[in-house]
Every structure is written in structure tokens, then in C-alpha cells.
Chains A and B, each alone.
Chain A
Amino acid sequence: MTTTQPLLEVTNLRKVFTGVGGLLSRRDVVAVDDISFALQGDQAKLITIVGESGSGKSTLARCILGLTQPTSGAVRYRGQDIQSMSKAEMHAYRRAVQPVFQDPYSTYNPFYRIDRVLNVLVRKFKLAASPKEAKAQIDEALRVVDLRPHDVLGRYPHQLSGGERQRVMLARIYLMKPRLIIADEPISMIDAALRALFLNILLDFRDQHGISCLFITHNLATAYYLGGEIMVMCRGRAIEHGAMDDVIAQPAHPYTQLLLESVPSQDPRQRWTEKRGANAVEASELRFDANACVFVERCPRVMEICRQQRPAHVPVQDGQTAACFLYSAEVAPVPTS
């Protein structure tokens, strides 16, 4: 019996934080607004979620990991809603889906030595049959991330550098060999060289061990390097989705276009020639309106309908979709001059 259930499926996920703010400006914050996507289990793949500040990407990650309860919608693992899983099923979910977090400082309990994050895993998920086997596995995991066991084991978190700590997190993943890694900005707080190592390890995990990864970042160049699929989020909504090469080469949504043209090039001979940034505004500052496109205030190609209705995802080309009225069949966009 072959299962056609996707490994991970997010359906209409919505997370609203109620009552945020002080006494005078209490309001609800919609962090994640109707996000849907699926990750098939047949082949290991990388999906990158790209979003700027306030895009909701971290909240999405937390919902997927079961750390935050969604307001509506579901996260399904092999067809089963994680909110309605039994303890045993949840345990199996944890075995299959593991995170790497952004901050290598706060993910360690300062009270314990760093060995603990590895030992807890071995214990909880019975990764080894004997202490000797556990030690062998741990040593191997540390070597994979270019750490020498005796440099790292037995130390307290504050005795290691941020880079070493993040590498131990990666070793933890290797130890576990989950089906899916949820990586939430895992390289934004470490050095450039280590970032490259990290990304290469993730690619190797996919190619050599069949481990998929949902990689969350704000950096488009990193996303491009990983390849695979890309989903662009803005203010809690997914505004574009497709294969990385397609979206980067031909971004459909104006927001994606804005992001791409703002990435500084690596080549000093290819600098920006025009001034574009005058009206730049942070994505988190965009006003949220449930019945309009999230980008109305800044879109260079905004139309009347964009202010009145929320655009649904429509196909742009093969495999690529964008939530933009410019591509809706029923709306004839005003041709840009």
C-alpha cells in the first residue's frame, strides 16, 4: 500500500494573537493568514520560506512544530492533524520533524552542559541500544559538523562560541535524522564562513540522507543557493509560490519584484543605477486589511480591485502561483505604460 498523503500539509493556517498592545491600543494581530502548502514525502526536498519583518514566518514555524496552537486551519503530518494527536502519535511526529532555531544562545539551558541536548534525544527517542553506541553516534554527529568531540563535550554553553553552539544544534539533527527539518533563520546569527558550512550540510542532508528541510529566511541569496521551492510571505500571507529558479528569474508578484531588486549585488561593477528606495517601508509597517491585498500601500501597480478584495492565488506559469490580481483571468489589468 503506497500512501499518497504528503509528509507535511499545512491547510488554511491562521494564527491571530488577541489583545496585543497596551490599554489604549489593544488590537488583534493576525500573524499568519491562510497559509497552505504541502511537502510530499516521496523525495527529500528543500522549501524556502522568504519573508521580511512581520511576515509571520516564525509563527508559522512554531505552529508547524506544535509550539503554538493555530487559531484555525491545520497542520497535518501524514494526513493527521497534529493538534488531535495522541501522546504516542505526537512522539512519532517529534521523531520525524525537528527544528533548528535562530538564536544559538537561548536554545541552551545555561544550567546544564551542552551534552544534555544530545543525551536527551538519545534517551527520549531510543536512538542507541547502549551507552557505548550512543557515544559513538554522538561522536560521529559532531564530526559531521566539523567539531571535535573532546573540544565540545563536557562544556557549558557559555564556554563555546555561537558558531560552535549552532553546530551542535546541527549535530543534534544529524543524530536524530528526522524526515523534516524546520530551520527558522538558522544562520542569521553566525559568521559568514559557518553559514556556508551550514547550508552545505543541509544540502548534504537532503542528498545523502533523504532529510527534507523547510528553511525560513529573509535573505534571498541564501534561498537561491538552496534551490528547491520558494514561498514568499508578506504580512502573514503567502504572496508567491513556485520553483526557486522560476520565481527568481521571473518574479510575478510586485512585492517579490521589490525584494529582488533591493538585494545588493556581489559585483561592484553592477551597482544600482537608479534611486528606488525613497518610499521604502518596512514590511511590518504595512497595514493589515482582511479585505484587501496586503501590499496596496506600496504596490507600484496597484489597481482599484486590490483595495477591495483579497487576491487569491492564481497560476502565473507552470507551477508558479501568485496572489495578485494582475494575473487573475477575470480581472483585466491596466497595461503598464
Chain B
Amino acid sequence: MSTHLLAATDVRIHYHSTGGAYKVVDGVDITVNRNEIFGLAGESGCGKSTLVEGIMRLIRPPGKIVSGHAMFYPQQPPQSMTLHGSNNNGAAGIDLFQVSEPDLRYLRWRYISYVPQGSMNSLNPVMRIGDQMIDVTRQHSELSKREAYERVIDVLRIVGLSERVVRSYPHELSGGMKQRVIIAMAVTLNPQLIVADEPTTALDVNVQRAVLETIAEIKQRTGATIIFVSHDMAVHAELVDRLAIMYAGEVVEVGTVYEIFETPKHPYSQRLIGSIPQLGGQRTRLESITGIAPSPIAWPQGCRFHPRCPHAMDICKQVAPPAFEISPGHRAACHLYSEAQPIQLHEAAAR
């Protein structure tokens, strides 16, 4: 049995325009373990939202998944589906980038759920919550109406909402409650992977706490794996088990949440963490990063962070650093660590 649930390798998602190609995601490798909350951090424009949209196969022209694989290793994979490739202790997996549309539809909600940005505003305003949830549940499963209703009550309880919500209309609920309804919908068919993109942005801070607690609860109760995308580092510190930081379409550092917050290795991670104000304690002058974030149409040569990096060396301007292993599971793509063992993930996956 494999330890990973999802292994994405060399993912490249480009948007084509008359002016050139916007290489929004450009060579990303991430592996997500079972029953963990995996955080994807980074600022706007780094490609994290596009990456998960790609994994969900929601990229529309002019965007295109140019290369890469997203191997998904569910327990009890659907019989009808052909399994591609093999990695991961010999377990067979499904390449999400290769599956057909009908297969994808089968996987969605049952195996993988997606909570997109701002989804709390996409509830149907003229249907009661319960009806919407039952609808979605029955569309993607063989449950009867009675069974679907029971299940809906169950998941609402998991997210901390009372049965009353079933009879409510969306406008009768607060923003936080709507967000929890969306999360409940995502959990209804017990998917093994839930992808949530900025689920707590634009919520009041106390409601944010409720939603974060809900997500932690879901991980405990259902054993699901959650990919949590957010630009808010504090939220990652509070919730996730492992964390990947993206910059300019690439993953610059990945590791456990303790490794990232306590011993960040990549200069960007260090600056990013150092730029966030802390509540309480001594006030130290925040660090900022000089310069401006680059544009996907013209990523800098070599290491993409070198124009803004306080430790930039000559090699950084010419050679893009591979991911070096700082310690097992903790990797940073920075030439400062070139004595460490570079991981060539693309080759490892291909074997």
C-alpha cells in the first residue's frame, strides 16, 4: 500500500496569448501523504490556485496542461478505470491528467472534492440548502433520497451546523455558515482527497477559526487528505501538517510545518515568514522583500528569485537550482544548499 495519495510531477500549465506564453505553473513536484493536511502557500501570482485547478482538470483554453503527471493512488480505486503507471511501492495509480472526462466525472465528489475560491457565493439562491446538498449527493452516488438526506444531516453535523440549516435558503445563512455548507457538500461522499482553495479568505477571524477547526475535524473523523491553498501563512501554521511554498510557478521549499516555520531554508521562505506581523510579544522590525514579483510571461533566468534575493550568487543568475534535500522530506530549491543531495523527481517518477 502506498504512502502517498497524490504525487504530482513536473506539472507545467501555460496560458497562451499573442504576446507569448504565461508559464503560470512551471515544473512543480509535490507529494501528498494520506490523511494529512497539505498546505500550499505563496503570494498572488505564484501559481498555487492554477496548480490545483490543473489537478482538478479545470483548466480552460487559453490555458493548457503542457506536461506532467498527477498520480492519484486511492484506496479501492474504481474497478472500471484503467490504472496508469506504477510507482509508490508498486501500487497502481490514476494519472489525473490522462483520465477521460467520464472517468473524471466519476472521480469527482466520490474520490476527490474541490472547494474553489469564493464558492460560498455559488450556492443556488433559490433552492433550500438541504435540497441542493441532496441533489448533488444523488447525482454522484446511488443513494436513495432517504439515505442521501441522512448523509446530509451527518455531514452538517461534522461541520458543526444544525439540522435547521437543511431547510434554510443561502441568504439566511452567514458567510461562515455558507462556507461550512460547501465544505459539508465536499465531504458528503467521503472522498479521499479534498482540495480547498482559500476557504477562509474574506471571513471574519472568529468564523475563520470555526472553518479551520472544521477542516481539522474532518481530517480526524473521515481520514481524508486535504490540500489547503492559502496565501495566509498564519493559517497554515495553525492547521497544516506539511507545507509547500510556491514562488514564480515553482515550489521553492517543502517540508513539515515545523521545519518551514522554525527552520526555513529558502531565502524567499525566510523573508516571507519574517514579513508577517506577530500578535503579542516583542516587536521586531518586519522584513520586506525588495523588488517586484516577476511576471509569468518573463520569468527571470536561472533561479527565479535571484533578482530579489539577498544571498544571490553568480550561479543563481544562470542555473535554476534543483530541489536539494535538507533532511528527509524537507527540500529547498536554492544553490545555498548545493552540498545536499539534489532530488531529481521527474526521473524517479518515470521509472
Please tell me whether chains A and B touch each other in their complex, using a CB distance cut-off of 8 A: yes
Q: Which B residues touch A266, using CB under 8 A?
A: 233-234, 237, 261, 273, 276, 278
Q: Which A residues touch B318, using CB under 8 A?
A: none
| B37-51 with Cβ < 8 A to chain A | 43-44
For B176, B204, B288, the residue with the greatest tally of chain A CB atoms inside 10 Å of its CB is: B204
Bin chain B's interface residue count. Answer: 35 or more
Mask of A179-206 contacts with B, CB within 8 angstroms, 1/0: 0000000000001111111011000000
Cα distance, A234 to B271, chains bound together (Å): 34
Q: Is B277 an interface residue (CB 8 A)?
A: yes
Q: Tell me, rounded to whole Å, the shortest Cβ–Cβ distance linking A257 to chain B.
A: 11
Determine if B213 and A194 form an interchain contact, defined as CB atoms under 8 angstroms apart. no
Q: Is A302 an interface residue (CB 8 A)?
A: no
Q: Is B279 an interface residue (CB 8 A)?
A: yes
Q: Which A residues touch B276, using CB under 8 A?
A: 192, 196, 221, 266
Q: Which residue of A is nearest B202, CB measured? A: A53
Q: Which A residues touch B210, using CB under 8 A?
A: 277-278, 280
For B212, B214, B276, B286, the residue with the greatest tally of chain A CB atoms inside 10 Å of its CB is: B286
Determine if B207 and A280 form an interchain contact, defined as CB atoms under 8 angstroms apart. yes
Mask of B275-309 contacts with A, CB within 8 angstroms, 1/0: 11111100101111110110000000000000000
Q: Is A264 an interface residue (CB 8 A)?
A: yes
Q: Is B238 an interface residue (CB 8 A)?
A: yes
Q: Is A225 an interface residue (CB 8 A)?
A: yes
Contacts A248-B279, A281-B174 given: A200-B285 contact, CB under 8 Å? yes
For A221, A260, A268, the residue with the greatest tally of chain B CB atoms inside 10 Å of its CB is: A268
Cα distance, A281 to B160, chains bound together (Å): 12
Q: Is B235 an interface residue (CB 8 A)?
A: yes
Contacts A262-B205, A277-B213 given: A285-B174 contact, CB under 8 Å? yes
Cα distance, A75 to B283, chains bound together (Å): 33
Q: Is A164 an interface residue (CB 8 A)?
A: yes
Cross-interface CB contact of A191 among B239, B262, B278, B293, cutoff 8 Å: B293
Determine if A221 and B278 form an interchain contact, defined as CB atoms under 8 angstroms apart. yes
Contacts A161-B292, A277-B209 given: A227-B275 contact, CB under 8 Å? no
Mask of A281-299 contacts with B, CB within 8 angstroms, 1/0: 1111100000000000000
Determine if B204 and A192 form an interchain contact, defined as CB atoms under 8 angstroms apart. no
Determine if A221 and B272 form an interchain contact, defined as CB atoms under 8 angstroms apart. no
Determine if A278 and B237 form an interchain contact, defined as CB atoms under 8 angstroms apart. no
Interface of B toward A, CB cutoff 8 Å: 43-44, 160, 174-176, 203-214, 217, 231-235, 237-239, 257-258, 261-262, 271-273, 275-280, 283, 285-290, 292-293
Pairs A–B under 8 Å by Cβ, sample size 16: A163-B293, A194-B288, A197-B288, A220-B205, A221-B276, A222-B277, A225-B277, A262-B205, A264-B234, A268-B261, A269-B258, A272-B238, A277-B160, A277-B206, A277-B209, A278-B160
